[in-house]
């Protein structure tokens, strides 16, 4: 690990390659698992305020799950996540005609109905950020369902930090990302 400002960054962000391969996995990270996507407190406020603009981009099952469970789930200790449909996919997921998942929030953003792309945890994936009182840990979340993304990233020689560049800048800013690039250059030389 190495430090940038108040973050401790896993070297795997630099050393591992990754590019989502939706043709292979169909976006199963939005369906598999036991919990919804992690949400920051500000994101729960945004969902409450903008849900009416997002709802038309969701499917019936997703809207019903949100009506039943809420626009987000409070899991305690100041942590929140998106609700699930029958314990499976995120309630904000829709399925394209090719069976690949899409984010209803992101579809609303692309249609210019909202000004927020999607939860930062989704945008950053496979990077996960865990906040502690004194620092934030920035780690690679390795999951078997993403093996095809690792293979594609390896064949294209695209490290994780480059794949999620836009999201890392959104989360930490341009200066932080520039320092990450310097760290990567030093590590690779």
pLDDT at 81: 97
DSSP state letter for 34: S
Give the bridge partners for 169, in sequence order.
none
Residues 118/103, Cβ–Cβ less than 8 Å: yes
Domain ranges of the chain: 1-18+133-189, 25-125
Residue ranges of the chain with per-residue pLDDT less than 70:
none
pLDDT at 112: 97
pTM of model > 0.85: yes
Which tens digit of pLDDT belongs to each residue from 83-98?
A: 999 999 999 999 998 9
Q: What is the DSSP string of 122-147?
A: HHHTTEEEEE-SS-EEEEE---GGGH
pLDDT at 164: 97
Measure the CA–CA gap between 172 and 11, rounded to whole angstroms.
17
DSSP state letter for 159: B
């Amino acid at each position: 690990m190495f430090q940038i400002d108040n973050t401790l960054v896993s070297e795997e962000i630099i050393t591992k390659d990754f590019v989502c391969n939706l043709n292979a996995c169909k976006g199963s990270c939005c369906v598999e698992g036991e919990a919804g996507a992690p949400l920051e407190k500000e994101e729960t406020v945004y969902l409450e305020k903008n849900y009416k603009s997002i709802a038309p981009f969701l499917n019936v099952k997703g809207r019903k799950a949100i009506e039943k469970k809420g626009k987000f789930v409070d899991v305690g200790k100041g942590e929140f996540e998106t609700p699930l449909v029958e314990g499976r996919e995120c309630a904000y997921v829709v399925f394209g005609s090719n069976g690949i998942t899409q984010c209803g929030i992101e579809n609303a953003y692309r249609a210019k109905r909202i000004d927020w792309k999607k939860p930062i945890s989704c945008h950053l994936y496979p990077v996960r950020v865990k906040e502690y009182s004194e620092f934030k840990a920035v780690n690679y979340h390795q999951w078997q369902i993403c093996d095809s993304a690792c293979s594609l990233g390896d064949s294209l020689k695209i490290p994780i930090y480059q794949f999620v560049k836009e999201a890392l800048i959104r989360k930490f800013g341009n200066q932080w990302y520039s320092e990450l690039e310097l760290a990567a250059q030093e590590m690779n030389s």
